[in-house]
Structure formats: structure tokens, C-alpha cells
Amino acid sequence: MASASATRLFFSILPLHSSTSASAAAVKLFFNKYSNNYNMNNLIIRRRAHTHHFRTTTSTTTATSTSSKNEKKNIKTNKKKKKKKNREKEKRGAAVVSAAAAAAAESSLVKLKRRTRSNRVFELPEHLNHQQRQLLLHGGNSDTHFPVMLGEVLEVFHGYPQRPLLRSFVDCTLGAAGHSSAIIRAHPELQLYVGLDVDPVAHEKAKAYIDNVVNDGSGSTASDLKVITLLKNFKDIKSVLAEVDEKFLIDGVDGILMDLGMSSMQVNNAERGFSVLSDGPLDMRMNPQASLKAEDILNSWPEDEVGRILRDYGEENNWRSLQTKIVKARLKGGLHSTSELVNLIRGTTPKSVGRQGWMKTATRVFQALRIAVNDELKILEDSLYACFDCLSSGGRLAVISFHSLEDRIVKQTFLDIIDVGGDGNGIDEEERCIVKKGYEDKENDEEEAWIKQKIGGRNGIILTKRPITPCEEEETLNRRCRSAKLRVVQKV
Ligand SMILES: C[S@@+](CC[C@H](N)C(=O)[O-])C[C@H]1O[C@@H](n2cnc3c(N)ncnc32)[C@H](O)[C@@H]1O
């Protein structure tokens, strides 16, 4: 009983996202401590009961009425002692629980401090029509992609009058051009706009939309604005700029945006194979011209490699048994549709964890496959260096990531890029952090309100020591943005 109520209490004090490593460690610590105590105590009680029974039966053979009275007395005293012991045990249990509660509360505080929730007032993106606004406000399955943290992104590139004008801008991930169109509208001084996407559907849609924005007659864009949209991978940013105009490769561009992951159009199209919830082929290619599909990995990659990607890219604890089942499925013709894969995952996930449990596992497995199919992590890391090289002096690179693996790469690569000095890995990030108030930047006397803490280096300044996350209202309206993290670096 004590254990059950302690367990309930522990879960009630766990932070909402208990799957994070800090909370997971707290859970592990708690259960190691508490469940070991519980099992050992059970064992001791059972052993004592056995000994007691043995003594009682031996004593009955030589019993007198006095000894039987004594025995009754003994039993009573033993019962009292046992009750006392149980009360003490419960107290000890409660102490463990409150210690665990304190640890969990502390870890959730630490977690809160590790990011800065945006305090902007959420505004509906200007470019949405009435129907799209209603969809965003009232939910529903749509083909529309809502740009994540749009207000925050505009603020990063706005800057004026504190900052130089934005004359050139590259959107590495066009998608539905939500961010791009807002940037073009907000910057009449813009002279070069380049938009990239590997997905031909996104590229076509975005191109048409941007043409419309530029030619809608509102006169807010510069007459000499050069607009170029290309079906290209952002890893090729340098060759793209060289092709557009060598000058931009040499002098650099003023702003670059990467809004990683998939667009709603991609997720909502079952044929692309990205969705856990709808049946489609096991494809998952961002670029349909690429040769590797998710089903190739599942049906023909070496067993160890399948396990590795589930473990490393999905951070899935159950990777070993999933790996075994996936490879076993090959004997029956392999896996070819998302629903076959989801059914396999459901069959591997313990029933006790319910729908939430297998859904989480399926999401992690799909994430792992998507990362492997598109080689996302390696491309991201290489492209961050390339993008920074393409910035002008004072230019900014903003990256929105959607899971911890991506965010870790952005964070570490930014630190490496700016070169905080010291001996590389031994960088004491905390020590080199510049708290906004004490920051001395002659060119930037008046600070922008969204910047809280910076990290300064030889080559640049990280403007987001802690990543910015969406405001509560946006989180409520757009589920997709919940895990979004925005980090920004500026070239010196
Ligand atoms: C989240 S969406 C971008 C949404 C966009 N910011 C908007 O406001 O509509 C991400 C887009 O990046 C594209 N993408 C992903 N990886 C890419 C890469 N390596 N190079 C170019 N585009 C990529 C995807 O095809 C997808 O269309």
C-alpha cells in the first residue's frame, strides 16, 4: 500500500514531460531506491513469518497453559512491534518520496531555466486567409502550414534602427513560404531573396506564393528585388550563392533562416509516409528524387545498423527488441507500409502502457527513420558551418529545431563556430556568457528586447544563450510548435 501510494504521489509531482533525461534519471533513482526497499522488506517479512510459524509448531508439542498464555502475550507484543515498524517504514517511504519530489522539482526548475519562453503576444500570421485563420483557431486537418514563432523570427531580422538593414536574405527551408513572405513584406529594403527546398511540391507552392507577394501591387517591395527560389538542398548554400552572384558569396548575406523538419503539407500527405496516424508507403524522403527510402532501411540494412538508428536517432529504449522483430519480419516479405510498421511497434510495446505508450514509441521510430533516410543530422551540422561562412559581418543565422538531437547539434556547432577560445571541448560556456545588462557593444548600444543573454566569441555572438520557445498561446493553437526551439548566432 505504502509503495502504491508513494508511486502515485511520485508521478503526480513529475514534470509534464517526464521523458526528458533529467526526469527519467529522477524516476530511475526513485524506483531503484524505493522498489529495492519494497522488495527487500517483503522478503524479510516473509522470512520472519516462516520462522515464527516453525517456532509455534515446535512449541505446541511441549505446551502448558501458562506457556500458551505467554505465547498469546508474545504474539500481541509482536503485532504491536510490527505495527510500529510499519509506521516507521511508511515514514521512511514518505521521506524518500519527498526527497524525490524535491529532486524532481529542482530538475524541472533547471529545465525551465534552460530555455526562454517567448513573451511576445501571439499574432495570427498576416498572410492567412479567413478560412486558414479559422482552421488555426479551431483546429482541424489542413494542408496549410503555419509558420512557427513567426513574430520571434521577424524580430530577429528586424533590428532596425539598432541594426543594419536587411538587404539580402536566404530561407533555407521554404516550405509553404510563411516565414519568407512575412520577411519580404517586412523588408522593403531587401534586394536579394533566395528560397531553397528539396521538396518539389513545397518549392512549387512557395514559388507561386512568393511571386504573388512580390507582384501584388502593394508596392512594399523594392523594384529591384531579385527573387530566386530553387529546388536545392541547403547543404549547397555556397554553390547556390556563387551561382546567383559571386558578390554575395564574398560579402555575405544579412540573414539566413533554417526552419527544420517537415511541413504540415508533408506530414498530412499519407503518400509521403511521414505520418504515424495514416497508412501509406514507407517512403519518408524529403526529396522524392533521392534513392533511399525508409523501407530500404527496414528490409535490407544490416541488423546492427537498424538497431543503431533506432537507438541513436530515435533515442528508443526498446530498440533491441524492435530491431529483432523488424529483421524477423523480413522472413515474411518485409515491411512496406506505415501501418505494418505501426502494428509491429504496437505488438512490441507492453500492453500496460496503452495507446500513449505505443504512439510515443512509433513517433520515435518514425523520427529515427526520417533522420536516416534524409541524413538530417550530418547535413545539419555541415550546413550550419556553411551558412555561417555565407553571412556578412553583423549578419544573423536563425535556426528553429524540433527535437533534442537537432537542438544539441545547433547549440554545440554555434559554440564551435563563434570560437569562445580556450581548448575546444573544455569551454566553460557559463563563464563566457555575457549577461545582457553588462554587455558592451559599441555598435549596438541599444539592445533588442528579445535578447536576454549572449555568448561572445572571436567569430561571432550567440544571441540566445538559452533557446527561445513559443509563447503559451501559440503552443495552445499550434500543437506542432510545442517542441520548437529557436537559436540565433550573429557574425562579428
Ligand atoms: C518546417 S518546413 C518549413 C516551413 C516554412 N518555414 C514556412 O514558413 O512555411 C521545412 C521544409 O524544409 C525542407 N527541407 C528539409 N530539409 C531540407 C534540406 N536539407 N534542404 C532544403 N530543404 C529542406 C522540407 O522539405 C520542408 O519543406
272 close to ligand 1 (CB < 6 Angstrom): no
Which position has the higher pLDDT, 432 or 456? Answer: 456
What ligand 1 atom has the least distance to the C-alpha of 148? Answer: 8
Among the ranges given (24-33, 101-110, 331-340), the one the predictor scored with the smallest mean pLDDT:
24-33
Cβ burial of 89 (10 Å; 0-12, 13-18, 19+) is middle
Question: How high is the pLDDT of residue 54?
Answer: 30
CB-ligand 1 contact for 314 (6 Å cutoff): no
Ligand 1: does its nearest atom lie under 6 Å from the Cβ of 401?
no
Residues 297 and 411 reside in one and the same domain: no
pLDDT higher than threshold 50 for residue 116 = yes
Q: Is the CB of 234 under 6 A from ligand 1?
A: yes
Q: Identify whether 451 is part of a domain.
A: yes
* Distance from Cα 404 to the centre of ligand 1, integer Å: 18
Question: Which atom number of ligand 1 is nearest to the Cα of residue 233?
Answer: 20
Say what the pLDDT of residue 490 is: 97
CA 200 to chain centre: 26
Ligand 1 centre to CA of 190 (Å) is 22
Return the DSSP state at 351: G
Pairing of strands 453-456, 433-435: antiparallel
To the nearest whole percent, how much of the chain has pLDDT over 70?
A: 69
- pLDDT for residue 29: 35
- Per-residue pLDDT, averaged over 454-458, amounts to 95
Domain identity same for 153 and 253: yes
137 plus 230 within the same structural domain: yes
190 lines ligand 1 (CB under 6 A): no
Positions of E strands within 113-167: 116-117
Regarding the beta carbon of 147 and ligand 1, being less than 6 Å apart is answered yes
3-state SS class at 378: helix
Select from 482, 491, 486, 484 the least CA-distant residue to 16: 482
pTM higher than 0.85, yes or no? Answer: no
Residue 47 has pLDDT above 60, yes or no: no
Q: Is the dihedral of CA 154, 387, 251, 239 positive or negative?
A: negative
Kindly provide the residue ranges of all beta strands, DSSP E only, lying in 355-445, ordered along the sequence.
391-401, 433-435
Mutate to test the pocket of ligand 1, among 145, 169, 173 (most ligand atoms within 8 A of CB): 173
**Is 195 touching ligand 1 by the criterion CB < 6 Å?**
no
> Do 416 and 453 share a domain, yes or no?
yes
Contact 166, 252 (CB under 8 A): no
pLDDT of residue 382: 98
* 7 assigned to some structural domain: no
Q: Are residues 254 and 285 in the same domain?
A: no
Determine contact, residues 177/195, Cβ cutoff 8 Å. Answer: yes
Same-domain status, 452 and 357: no
168-198: pLDDT as tens digits: 999 999 999 999 999 999 999 999 999 999 9
Q: What is the pLDDT of residue 400?
A: 98
Mean pLDDT on 115-122:
77
CATH number at residue 252: 3.40.50.150
Is residue 171, in this structure, part of any structural domain at all? yes
How far is residue 116's CA from residue 451's CA, in Å, rounded to a whole number?
10
Query: Does a structural domain hold residue 8?
Result: no
Query: Does the CB atom of residue 379 touch ligand 1 within 6 A?
Result: yes
Number of domains in the chain: 3
- Give nearest CA residue, ligand 1 atom 24: 262
Quick: pLDDT tens for 123-158.
766 666 666 666 655 554 556 788 999 999 999 998
Convert the pLDDT of each residue in 298-341 to its tens digit: 999 999 999 999 999 999 999 999 999 999 999 999 999 999 99
Choosing from 154, 209, 286, 367 the residue with most ligand 1 atoms within 8 A of its CB, the one to mutate for a pocket test is: 286
**Residue 458 domain boundaries:** 130-264+392-423+430-491
Residue 448 is predicted with a pLDDT of 87
Q: Does the CB atom of residue 259 touch ligand 1 within 6 A?
A: yes
Amino acid residing at 366: F
Do 260 and 396 belong together in one domain? yes
From the CA of 206, how far away is ligand 1's center (Å)?
11
Domain at 305, CATH number: 1.10.150.170
Q: How confident is the model at residue 159 (pLDDT cuts 50, 70, 90)?
A: low
Distance CA 197, CA 179 (A): 13
One domain for residues 274 and 260: no
Q: Does residue 60 carry a pLDDT above 80?
A: no
**What's the pLDDT score for residue 11?**
34
Q: From the CA of 98, how far away is ligand 1's center (Å)?
A: 46
- Atom of ligand 1 at shortest range from CA of 173: 12
Most confident of 286-290, 345-349, 435-439: 286-290
Mean pLDDT across the stretch 442-460? 81
Q: State pLDDT tens for residues 218-236.
A: 656 767 899 999 999 999 9
User: Are residue 96 and residue 189 in the same domain, yes or no?
Assistant: no
100-110 average pLDDT score: 54
Report the separation in Å between the CA atom of 157 and the middle of ligand 1, taken as the mean of its atom positions: 19
Which of 198, 229, 237 for a ligand 1 pocket mutation test, highest count of atoms within 8 Å of Cβ?
A: 198
| pLDDT value for 349 | 87
Does 5 have pLDDT greater than 60?
no
Nearest alpha carbon, ligand 1 atom 5: 175
pLDDT at 30: 30
Answer yes or no: are the C-beta atoms of 278 and 270 closer than 8 Å. yes
CA contacts within 13 A on the Cβ side of 206: 33
pLDDT at 474 > cutoff 50: yes
Q: What pLDDT is attached to residue 477?
A: 87
Q: Provide the pLDDT for residue 143.
A: 66
Q: Tell me the β-bridge partners of 34.
A: none
Give pLDDT, residue 478.
87
Co-location of 252 and 330 in the same domain: no
pLDDT of residue 50: 35
Ligand 1 within 6 A of 177 CB? Answer: yes
Give residue 76's pLDDT.
Answer: 76
Distance 266 CA to ligand 1 centre (A): 10
Q: For the chain, what is the mean pLDDT? A: 79
- Is the CB of 146 inside a 6 Å radius of any atom of ligand 1? no
When pLDDT is cut at 50, 70 and 90, the band that residue 24 belongs to is very low
Q: For 349-392, what is each residue's pLDDT tens digit?
A: 888 777 778 999 999 999 999 999 999 999 999 999 999 999 99
472-484 average pLDDT score: 90
> What is the pLDDT at residue 352?
78
Ligand 1 geometric centre to CA of 89 (Å): 57
**Does one domain contain both 156 and 222?**
yes
Taking the centre of ligand 1 as the mean of its atom positions, its distance from the CA of residue 212, in whole angstroms, is: 20
Distance 457 CA to ligand 1 centre (A): 29
Distances (CA, A) of 125 to 133, 222, 283, 358: 8, 22, 31, 34
Higher pLDDT, 382 or 13: 382
> Does residue 464 lie in a domain region?
yes
**Average pLDDT estimate for 104-110:** 53
- 22 vs 202, more confident: 202
- Inside any domain, residue 64: no
Q: 278 lies in a domain?
A: yes
pLDDT tier at 100, thresholds 50, 70, 90: low
Q: Which atom of ligand 1 is nearest to the CA of 178?
A: 8
Same domain, 297 and 230: no
What is the predicted pLDDT for the residue at 67?
57
Does ligand 1 have an atom closer than 6 angstroms to the CB of 307?
no
Ligand 1 proximity of 261 Cβ (cutoff 6 Å): yes
Mean pLDDT of 191-215: 95
User: Does residue 122 sit within a domain?
Assistant: no
